[in-house]
Amino acid sequence: MLVHICCSVDSHYFLRRLKEDFPGERLVGYFYDPNIHPYSEYRLRLLDVRRSCESLGVELVEGPYDVESWMAAVKGLENEPEKGARCAVCFDRRFEMSAKAAKEMGESTFTSTLLTSPKKSIPQLQKSGDKIGEKYGVKFVAVDYRVGGGTQKQQEEAKKAKLYRQDYCGCMFGLTIQRREQQRLAAELFSPVDGRILPGSIEERLALYEERMWLEEAGRDYRIVRQKFLNWRLKFGWVKRKKETLPSYILPYSVMKRRYTNGRVEWEEDGIFYFNREEIRLLPLSRYNAEAGRRYENVKELLFDPPPFETDLKVRESIGLGLYDLSPVIVLDEVPEGKLEILIEAEEYRDVRELLLPL
């Protein structure tokens, strides 16, 4: 039996139950989920699925990450709700590839761990699976492992196995709607062009779970704990002088009451230039280099190859800004005289991150 797998939380309990209910059946996991976005989230879920399948003794095959064709398939359905028309197209596409793979592997049946997801409709899944299965001559097995407290048992097993527990389906459109309803920033969709790992980001979680794998391979014990903290994301920003945009680097936790202001430097002390609006500090690159222990030639170089996030926090602290200070700090090649225009579109928000504690 080929088993389409969407994530480890759904698959771990599902696969164990399949092994019990179909003892003579060879199970082959098939991870095909081009709907998962961004790619770092896809890699993280695949990493955890591999770990789960290995622990259960189930072979795993990875399907193609053909996200462009998936985007084309759901075009026009971006605002559909969960369990709506977009989900139906998504199920059809994933079941199509799964049934085709089952046929090519010589399997006569296929199923999907989507059946055990509490956010999915079993009748909707069965209708799609039956239709696609008939097309390829393979039978869709629609088991219901949610009944009899199955959903609770699934969550208990996921916690016991220390699985990665994502909090959204994977689809960027569903995520956007979910975060809007929660009145939360969809920070999962932020990926800086410089490739830096941001706190609370998917990339940070991916690095954590990769380290977890190394600890397990080395036979070392660990704990994964959750931490509440104040997070920050920069959407965009700029500094202009006489309508000319100056290369500028905005340090983390820079927030303005109004996204736009204009004014001039009021005074300077020890290489820190104090702007007369929004508590803004301007740093020449030379001062930033001194505090960060770097040798950047210009701000453009800093923009595309910044230091670790923590280095910028230390720079803020070194110029007298405390742990709870949200005053904007902007690095320029040189701080010019005269009037400046400044725009910072950023958001600070309460968040939760995971930390890995080797024991």
Cα 140 from chain centroid (whole Å): 31
pTM of the model: 0.91
Element (DSSP H or E) covering residue 241:
strand 222-241
- If we measure between CA atoms, which residue out of 118, 165, 160, 148 comes closest to residue 7? 165
One-letter identity of residue 342: I
Give the three-state DSSP class for 102. helix
Provide the CB-side half-sphere exposure for 354 (13 A, CA): 20
Give residue-wise pLDDT tens across range 84-142.
Answer: 899 889 989 999 999 999 999 999 999 999 999 887 888 889 999 999 999 999 999 99
- The C-alpha atoms of residue 23 and residue 139 are separated, in whole angstroms, by 18
What is residue 84's predicted lDDT score, i.e. its pLDDT? 87
CA distance from start to end of the chain: 39
Residue corresponding to tokens 């959407």: 235
- Whether the CA torsion 14, 186, 248, 311 is positive or negative: it is negative
What is residue 1's predicted lDDT score, i.e. its pLDDT? 97
Extents of the domains making up the chain? 2-189, 230-352
User: For the chain, what's the residue count?
Assistant: 359
CB within 8 Å of 131: residues ≥ 6 apart: 92
Give the three-state DSSP class for 344. strand
How many other C-beta atoms can be found within 10 angstroms of the C-beta atom of residue 350? 9
What is residue 154's predicted lDDT score, i.e. its pLDDT? 93
Provide the CB-side half-sphere exposure for 222 (13 A, CA): 21
Q: What residues in the chain have per-residue pLDDT under 70? A: none
Q: Is the bond preceding 81 in cis, omega lying within 30 degrees of 0?
A: no
Q: Is the bond preceding 38 in cis, omega lying within 30 degrees of 0?
A: yes
Domain 2-189: which CATH class? alpha beta
How many other C-beta atoms can be found within 10 angstroms of the C-beta atom of residue 307? 16
